[in-house]
Structure 1
């Protein structure tokens, strides 16, 4: 990431408070989703682990995450966030990613849930995470 882009990415990822207008919170969640999806694409489950909420990390080791996500397609990259819905300090986002299957690359939409943690948003759930343990 270039020096000019890094502050923008950090700025997008920050700010989970209730005083932030919802459209700004949607941009923040979308920014974290993009960072997390691209980290997942680049480094697999290890890349995604850094974006998990503390409550998830307390119950899910890096190895546990890798095992839990083994049956899920690893994305090749983030495409877009198609929607973000809020319930207090929680958010549900529909994330579109590129994945490889037997017939080539396709776009798939998955639902990720986020929690406001301090001044940022962290992942509470991605498909497959329910199988994670320490």
Structure 2
């Protein structure tokens, strides 16, 4: 029992659920059976990536227009304490993943985060999410 986990492994993806018609599902299964894709998930991921690639210019312009950050944004208690010390408040806008560290208290989050827009996923404690519920868009 000398093994200890240094930090939680953060998932690299978010699970979603979709409903497909039987005909579309059958066509996907046929492509999988014929070896074009390894499984249904492979087909769906490929289709999504192709659509995102075909709209990449529009996404880039929208990110620029909305001044959104793209990718991963981490916030630890030390980051938010520095914001509080400076007398500032954050308006967080991210396309991707926002992680609010476990050391961030709900009170500190409310004191320093005025608004939170995440197009993607937000990882934070249930308490912090509840404290920011009225500020999450």
Higher relative CO (Cα under 8 Å, sequence separation at least 6) belongs to 1
TM-score range, shorter chain: under 0.3
Task: Give the structure-1-normalised TM-score.
Answer: 0.22
Which entry has the higher C-alpha Rg, 1 or 2? Answer: 2
